[in-house]
A and B are shown apart, each in its own frame.
Chain A
Amino acid sequence: MNRPAVHALLSHWRAHPLQLMTLLTGIALATCLWSAVQAINTEARASYDRANAQLAIGQFDELRASGSLIPLSRYSELRRAGWQVAAILEGRLRADGRSVRLMGVDMVAYPALPAISQIEQSADAPNPADMLTAPGRLLMSPKLAPLFQSADGFPPVITSTALPPDLVLTDIGVAENLLNQPGQISRLVILPDQPRGVPPLSEIASDLQRITPSTQLDTAQLTDSFHLNLSAFGLLSFAVGLFIVHGTVGLAFAQRRGTIRTLRALGLPMRNLIWIGLSELLLLALIGGVFGLVLGYFLAGALIPDVAATLRGLYGAPIDGQMSLRPRWVAAGLAMATGGTLAASGHALWRLSRMPILAGPGLQAWGGGKASALITGMCGLALLAAGAIAYFTFGGLIAGFALLAGVLTGAALLLPLLLSAVLALFIQRAKTPVSQWVLADMRAQLPGLSLALMALLLALAANIGVGTMVSSFRLTFTGWLDQRLTSELYVTAADDTQAADITEWLAPRVSAILPIRSTELAHETGPLFLYGIVDHESYRLNWPLIAEGPDVWDNVLNHGAVLINEQLARRADLWPGDTVAITPEHILQIAGVYSDYGNPTGQAIVSMPLLNQIAPNTETRRFGVRVAPDQASDLVQSLRAQFDLSPTAVVQQAAMKARSMAIFEKTFVITSALNVLTLGVAGFAILTSLLTLWTQRLPQVAPVWALGLTRAQLARLEVLRSVLLAALTACLALPLGLILAWVLLTIINVQAFGWRLPMQLFPGDWLALFLLTLAAAVLAAALPALRLLRLPPAALLRVFASER
């Protein structure tokens, strides 16, 4: 009995290949987007872990000297006092026009670096003598190796996949030669095991600052928000994908009711039927899941270079931009696929199990009562309230997301109730019988369509919200770039001497030379970059201040006050009038706060004399040049020729802006990609829902047809109904999307990136989205309408003859 039953049930798919495709596509889409986001996040986290393990960031305390390097003798003194510290010298290494981070570690005293362990375990482990004595070896990821293998003047290269992609690791003895900083140390890592009886650091190293991991810039912590963002999108796409599954499975079971009735009448027990249905779903879930995983793998592979660029640009977080297939990821993806499929099909299976043995296709196959709509609505309200309460009670990033989740799901659950109310209002106003019927019919169909409409609502709201955020950001960012990049040329010299020569050469040819000098200091909030400026109207007129005290520029330039960037201001809650300890000896008055987009670290600006006082050895290699814009290009040519400068050493303002904008665009490319995909999935969900409803609608359409409406009229009304529902949903999505944008701009961004942006509105975008939605609704309704149009009158007549 079971075999023929399986054959009979599966023959449905042979007869409806499109439906099978739809179902598999739904599962695959849900799995694909979710898994792609997971893969990206996993890769990124693996990269951070590697980097953190390498650099001991976030693991061990460190000692730093504010504003300067630590002399070697301090290291030996601390060691001779018993303190187990490891010396690290860091700097930038330039090869072939590219600059990468060089980290020199005392590999004798700090041998437990993972990269070292990996290399030593490899077959061609280098001789330690080669590593530790001149010329030494450079360790780097395989991707970086060609850069240094082809360039002259570098020690031989050893590759290790355990290293972050932007870092060259070597022994400190090699690093001091490459960086020309003999006997200097950037920081001392305090190793975990200290001997008994060491004197307190406050006694023997009061000149050094102890930085604990919690206040260090922790990549994982910083980027958490970004990944949370991605995860939220992945989950949203997953949910929307499941709407498709839900619609298709419902349709398949509804269409097979006749077969099922026959099988049961022939004696097949319900229990067997359920098992067959369940196995069928599991099989489909696995097939769809595998498809989804393959797609997800390639999608992630395609997106990860952009994500990597984003994370590098925003946080300086190192990512390999490479995918590896992890068994856990495959297992999790398949589990999500089967779990999701079963969850989405539970309703259909449950209904199957409750079906009376001889029941025909019901009139209200999908119907939920009024009560259930009310309960759904109540749940929606509760979720809205919970989200708001979470936000106001806890605050912070997670609370921001909780608010978002509450608002989005709450609004989605309220949607059927709202639409029903709106339609009821329309019915009261409706004059003609046909319009009354159309509206009443729509209202009757709402329960069956509501899931698809919820999907549409979420997708539209996400689109509006994210679109508003990105566009607001773009507008602000462009304006900010114009303010910030005022110099016509930006020059980077090879060293201080060349910089002095260039300055001398430029002086008679340009209107102003603005040195850009900075030094990295250790601050309690993490690394702090201190810049010095000279008095010039470029700053006074253009610098983008978001908060300022009186006489801000006079205070900074003449009275030893400081400007800080927004990131530092928000992180430490410092505003004009407060003081900030740039170093323990330099506690300065804050004169103003400036916006500083795209920068993860704290920054401060003081006058040039004060910078010299705080960090006397700051190099003077970079400067901006003010010159009449029409002379800029010529000046670049002659400057390059005169000093044999590489193209990257002299950059024009326009190129600088273009580069900044390119980084910006990459930042949101993944967001936009997921956005479009989600909307597509939602449109697909409406199509499947309408197709499902279609099979159950004949008994309702037939009487209207019998009353004299033509099939063409009915088909038009079919399309009209779909468009009207989509339009109503889109109207409700607009406020929801704006709430989303507001939360993103004022809560999530501030938490995640450390800056706040003014929200700007883009009605043109909304209109485009609205039209797109209507087009999608027309497309989704086209197929059912076409079927109606081609339906033989006999089929409509048979409704009266047999089905009732």
Chain B
Amino acid sequence: MSVRAFIIFVLLPITSWAQGYAGLGGSAEGFTRPVPGYSFQFPMDHGPHPSYRIEWWYLTANLKDAEGRDYGIQWTLFRSALKPSEAEGWQSPQIWMGHAAVTTPENHYFAERLSRGGIGQAGVTADPFEAWIDEWHMRGDDLNTLSLTANGSDFGYDLKLAAQGPLVFHGDAGYSVKSADGQASYYYSQPFFAVEGILHLPDQDVEVTGKGWLDREWSSQPLAQDQSGWDWFSLSFDSGDKLMAFRLRGDRGDFTAATWIDSNGQTMPLPDGSVMLDPLESTRVAQRDVPTRWRVSLLDHNVDVEVSALTPKAWMGTRFEYWEGPVTVSGSHAGRGYLEMTGY
């Protein structure tokens, strides 16, 4: 996934300090920049890269209960570096932000956590793997079997994740270009998680099963100066194939990219312009119009589908606001997935 979220310097406690998502186009002075041809080292690269400005561990899952009702969950840990270094205690310039959400057909629950590095309140270790902020965590011996937990004041979840396929790399073997100017990030995913566990909803606990998708991405300058937001899709078709697609909206026109992932984890990167993402219908949410029904077409793979939000009001009213929620897919292919939209 891409530029997802955010960024920020964003993480900043101070809302208006970030001049919207456009702030992502800020300079990357002193930070390491992604370059093509990077050779990923695991498990080390599952851990943090403090010399890059931003980084995230981003998990979404489409789930069902015994009655077949749809649910979605999000668990995200963002890292944002104020300076390209690490230090002890409160002196650490690394800022961590956690977002968690549960979406039901009727409601959207979310929570947010903030911390700085260096004090043990939040962080990521690669081996054994653990990503945590406060009592939220995603951990396991390695990235293949994970336990996942998060809580808000009125919701929470405890889930088990088991990878049933390989890691997949986007763009040029994990080097994902974000603009015509060459802004890029390192980007890989584990889109093959089987998920089971319990959602804690305000009125009851629900046992659920489903599929999860983890994104790992880090960069130092993910957006071009003119880019103000993005629409990002992760779709799992009933055929077993998957599609990751995003559109970065800019003054100079949109930039799109996508990855076709077949059921074995074989990937095919799709360059700018291959995937067509067209809004069909908007929903008024949080005083703005957000497209919640889309037409997604990919001529190369005969994909022409309609993507609809399970819950159009899945607005993340966090310090940096965006829309993130589960979607259903119909048309040439049926399936489920997640949609993220920022900058509206």
Contact = CB atoms under 8 A, between A and B. Distances in A.
B153 A183 contact: no
B319 interface: yes
In this complex, which of A75, A81, A133, A194 has the most chain B Cβ atoms within 10 angstroms of its Cβ? A133
Contacts of B120: 73, 76, 80
Interface stretch (A108-116, A594-602, A639-647, A756-764): A108-116
B135 A128 contact: no
Interface residues of A, number: 41
A200 interface: no
A196 B200 contact: yes
Interface string B1-45: 000000001001111110000000000000000000000000000
B119 A128 contact: no
B99 interface: no
A116 B14 CA distance: 7
Contacts of A128: 9, 12-14, 17, 82
Contacts, number: 108
B17 A108 contact: no
Contacts of B156: 195-197
Contacts of B153: 193-196
A183 B89 contact: yes
Which of A107, A128, A194, A196 lies at the interface centre, i.e. has the most chain B CB atoms within 10 A of its CB?
A128
A132 B134 contact: no
A502 to B, nearest CB: 33
A481 B101 CA distance: 63
Nearest to B95: A108
B107 interface: no
A320 interface: no
Interface string B82-125: 11000001110101000000000000000100111001110000
Interface in B122-180: 132, 134-135, 151-156
A195 B17 contact: no
Interface residues of B, number: 32
Interface in A126-161: 126-129, 131-134
A195 B200 CA distance: 12
Contacts of A73: 120
A195 B13 contact: no
Interface stretch (A168-176, A304-312, A503-511, A740-748): A168-176
B82 A134 contact: no
B17 A120 contact: yes
B241 to A, nearest CB: 38
Contacts of A121: 16
A107 B13 contact: yes
Nearest to B132: A80
Contact of B114 (A111, A182, A193): A111
Contact of A82 (B15, B91, B151, B154): B151
A79 B116 contact: no
B17 to A, nearest CB: 5
Contacts of A76: 119-121
A128 to B, nearest CB: 4
Interface in B203-252: none
A171 B82 CA distance: 14
A697 B154 CA distance: 81
B154 A108 contact: no
A75 B134 contact: no
A72 interface: yes
B319 A111 contact: yes
Contacts of A80: 120-121, 132, 134-135
A125 interface: yes
Given A80-B134, A128-B82, A132-B93, A196 B16 contact: no
A770 B17 CA distance: 67
A512 to B, nearest CB: 43
A75 B90 CA distance: 12
A134 B154 CA distance: 38
Interface in A72-109: 72-73, 75-76, 79-82, 84, 106-109
A109 B96 CA distance: 10
Contacts of A111: 12-15, 114, 319
A116 B16 CA distance: 10
Nearest to B97: A108
B319 A133 contact: no
A206 B200 CA distance: 28
A72 B93 contact: no
A84 B13 CA distance: 15
A84 to B, nearest CB: 8
Contact of B82 (A75, A120, A125, A133): A133
Contacts of B91: 133-134, 173
Contacts of B95: 108, 132
Contacts of A109: 114-116, 121
Contact of B16 (A82, A120, A182, A194): A120
A106 B118 CA distance: 13
Contact of B134 (A79, A108, A117, A131): A79
A79 to B, nearest CB: 5
Nearest to A122: B16
A585 to B, nearest CB: 28
B14 to A, nearest CB: 4
Contacts of B135: 79-82, 195, 198
Contacts of A129: 9, 82-83, 93
Contact of B89 (A120, A182, A194): A182
Contacts of A82: 134-135, 151
Interface in A676-692: none
A176 B90 contact: yes
Contacts of A194: 153
A80 B137 CA distance: 10
Given A107-B13, A196-B200, A197-B151, A172 B115 contact: no
A576 to B, nearest CB: 46
B71 to A, nearest CB: 17
Nearest to B156: A196
A132 B82 CA distance: 8
Contact of A120 (B15, B119, B121, B151): B15
A195 B152 CA distance: 5
Contacts of B89: 72, 173, 176, 182-183
A225 B153 CA distance: 39
Contacts of A197: 151, 156, 200
Nearest to B92: A173
Interface string B171-209: 000000000000000000000000000001000000000
Q: Count chain B CB atoms within 10 A of each CB in A81, A107, A126, A195 and give the residue with the most.
A: A195
B269 to A, nearest CB: 34
A173 B151 CA distance: 28
A193 B318 CA distance: 14
Contacts of B115: 79, 108-109
A198 B111 CA distance: 15
A196 B119 contact: no
Nearest to B117: A108
A734 B100 CA distance: 73
Interface in B262-318: none
Among B14, B16, B89, B91, which residue has the most Cβ atoms of chain A within 10 A?
B14
Interface of B: 9, 12-17, 82-83, 89-91, 93, 95, 111, 114-116, 119-121, 132, 134-135, 151-156, 200, 319
Interface of A: 72-73, 75-76, 79-82, 84, 106-111, 116-117, 119-121, 125-129, 131-134, 171-173, 176, 182-183, 193-198
22 contacts: A72-B89, A72-B119, A76-B121, A79-B115, A80-B134, A80-B135, A82-B134, A106-B90, A108-B115, A109-B115, A111-B12, A119-B14, A120-B15, A120-B17, A125-B16, A126-B17, A128-B13, A129-B9, A129-B93, A196-B151, A196-B152, A197-B156
Given A76-B121, A109-B115, A172-B90, 9 more contacts: A82-B135, A127-B17, A128-B13, A132-B93, A133-B83, A171-B90, A173-B90, A193-B153, A195-B152
Lowest 5 A-B CB distances belong to which pairs?
A111-B13, A173-B90, A195-B151, A82-B135, A129-B82
